[in-house]
Chains A and B, each alone.
Chain A
Amino acid sequence: DAKTTQPPSMDCAEGRAANLPCNHSTISGNEYVYWYRQIHSQGPQYIIHGLKNNETNEMASLIITEDRKSSTLILPHATLRDTAVYYCIVRSRGADSWGKLQFGAGTQVVVTP
């Protein structure tokens, strides 16, 4: 069963921020929220992950609601190269724990000039 729900597609104008929503209402306390993306004909690429605090790195920001039932990935200044399928995944994480990376359908993001 899918643990996350994402819109199937969204468009974004180049240079604008892209806000990608994800619902994960059944997330448990030890599960993290991960985001990956897959550009056409390439392997998936890790973007960011978080547990309950907001996170930011050079690629994106991750905003997790206080109840942890949803999150938003923010690409601050979308470029044409950000066109990809974006996957939101919840999984447990630890040096000795095995949390399977289960990909759902994802969101196809198209950045237009």
Chain B
Amino acid sequence: DAMVIQNPRYQVTQFGKPVTLSCSQTLNHNVMYWYQQKSSQAPKLLFHYYDKDFNNEADTPDNFQSRRPNTSFCFLDIRSPGLGDAAMYLCATSRDPGGEQYFGPGTRLTVT
């Protein structure tokens, strides 16, 4: 089945230690998104790629970066995780910018 895959499902990192979360998709969608969801809150968009074009939300901290080496993969890099970055990180895809978004299961990040 076509899907959005996120690895790992659970990630523990130390304060200040860089961490990378990965997302892959078999839907061949043009757009890939990263959301952050803190406990008991709604998902919040961090940035998205439309093909190779990167679009950063205005309030996304510089500590968060993303890479999309090809259509299928997208990575979220947190350069120096703080305790406040502990959250569920959700990857999503859509065929085009206005289309329905399909979400992966998320990666729960713990910062110790």
Contact = CB atoms under 8 A, between A and B. Distances in A.
B42 A104 contact: yes
B82 interface: no
B59 interface: no
A94 B99 CA distance: 7
Contact of B101 (A41, A46, A95, A104): A46
B105 A46 contact: no
B103 A45 contact: yes
B90 interface: yes
B111 interface: no
Q: Find the residue from A41, A101, A104 having the highest chain B CB count within 10 A.
A: A101
A42 B106 contact: yes
Given A87-B42, A100-B45, A103-B42, A46 B100 contact: yes
Nearest to A92: B98
What class of interface size applies to chain B in its complex with A?
20 to 34
B44 interface: yes
Q: Find the residue from A43, A49, A91, A102 having the highest chain B CB count within 10 A.
A: A43
Nearest to B100: A46
The list of the 6 closest CB pairs from A to B, nearest first, reads A43-B103, A103-B42, A93-B98, A98-B97, A94-B98, A46-B100
A49 B43 contact: no
Contact of A101 (B4, B55, B101): B101
A60 B44 CA distance: 25
Nearest to A49: B100
A91 B4 CA distance: 23
B75 interface: no
B109 interface: no
Interface string B26-42: 00000000000000001
